[in-house]
Amino acid sequence: MTLATRSHEATPILSLPDRPGGPVIGVLAVQGDFAEHLRMLARVGATGVEVRTPEDLERVDALIIPGGESTAIGKLLARYGLDVAIVARASVPSPDPGGATGQGEPPRPPLAIWGTCAGMILMARDIGDSGSKVVAQPLLGLMDLSVRRNAFGNQLDSFETDLDAPVVSPRQPVHAVFIRAPLIERAGEGVEILARLPDGRPVAARQGHLLATAFHPELTNDLSFHRYFVERVAAATSFAELPVR
Ligand code: GLN
């Protein structure tokens, strides 16, 4: 059983050139490498806008939380009231949009969100025991993931590698840049692992309309994850594809 599809979302956005209006992808622009994400969105033909306030968030169909410093980004989110606004818009709405009367406005589909690196940390439910007891790490807690910050230690502070990610890039590996990257230590049942390091450790995951990558596609020439997010994850937030809870 699925929820009704809103009329203007009846056509999935599978081919962006066919939908010149396309979805508007917000990029959280309070700290970190948001400019690089905006450049990548332009390269895949999507409309990207900076998001700094809850009002900005109202105007977007999807959101990217960039890499940077997750503690700083988390604190700024709270300062601007964006943490509450993001969590509210990312939630799957109740299957009874009209309430008791059935007369209400149809609810909006939940906000698709992609967190890269620091953004992935913010998406996670918890940071295992990797958070120092004295550092309060603000989290959005949207994805059923436990992540470990700075998981690669000093020697592998930053590195590049090619990853197999067949769902995202069926024909060729994805080039990935890791910078003081987190690692997924636990993924819940509803989470699909999209990419692993050659040693098998997971570094990209999707949970319905939510996506997380430990690495930075925005710092490479590899457009596959940006394409995947815009064409598959953001497009899938039509009600037709959402399970009723
Ligand atoms: N290590 C950073 C953090 O914990 C993330 C690094 C990054 O986004 N490149 O927030």
Distance CA 109, CA 90 (A): 8
- Number of Cβ within 10 Å of residue 18's Cβ equals 9
Percent of the chain having pLDDT more than 70? 78
Given its phi and psi angles, is residue 136 left (phi above 0), alpha (psi -120 to 50 degrees) or beta? beta
DSSP annotation of 217 reads: G
**Is the pLDDT higher at 146 or at 21?**
146
Most informative mutation of 36, 180, 184 for ligand 1 (most atoms within 8 A of CB)? 180
Using an 8 Å Cβ cutoff, are 114 and 212 in contact?
Answer: yes
Place of tokens 């939380």: 65
Characterize 88-106 residue by residue with b for buried, 16 or more Cβ atoms within 10 angstroms of its Cβ, and e for exposed. ebbebbeeebeeeeeeeee
pTM of the model: 0.85
Strand partners, 115: 65, 212
**Is the pLDDT higher at 231 or at 169?**
169
- Sketch out the chain's domains with CATH numbers: 24-236 (3.40.50.880)
Beta pairing, strands 112-116 & 24-28:
unpaired
DSSP letter string, 134-171: T--------EEEEEETTTTTTTTSEEEEEEB-TTT-SS
Residue 132: alpha-carbon gap to chain centroid: 25
| 8 a catalytic residue | no
pLDDT digits (tens, 9 = 90+) for 124-148: 999 976 555 545 789 999 999 999 9
Give me the pLDDT at residue 118, please.
97
Distance CA 53, CA 217 (A): 25
- How far does residue 210's CA lie from ligand 1's centre (Å)? 19
pLDDT at 8 over 80: no
Give me the pLDDT at residue 64, please.
98
- How far does residue 184's CA lie from ligand 1's centre (Å)? 13
pLDDT bracket for residue 10 (50, 70, 90): very low
Distance CA 180, CA 98 (A): 46
| 117 a catalytic residue | yes
Distance CA 91, CA 115 (A): 16
| Ligand 1 and 150: CB distance under 6 A | yes
pLDDT at 47 over 70: yes
Give me the pLDDT at residue 237, please.
64
Using an 8 Å Cβ cutoff, are 229 and 60 in contact?
Answer: no
| Ligand 1 and 148: CB distance under 6 A | no
Q: φ and ψ at 119, to 5 degrees?
A: -60, -35
Nearby residues of 20 by Cβ (< 8 Å), 6 or more positions away: none
Beta pairing, strands 192-196 & 183-187:
unpaired
Most informative mutation of 150, 154, 220 for ligand 1 (most atoms within 8 A of CB)? 150
Which member of 9, 36, 37, 117 is catalytic? Answer: 117
Q: Measured at the alpha carbon of residue 57, what is the angle toward residues 244 and 52, in degrees to the nearest 5?
A: 145
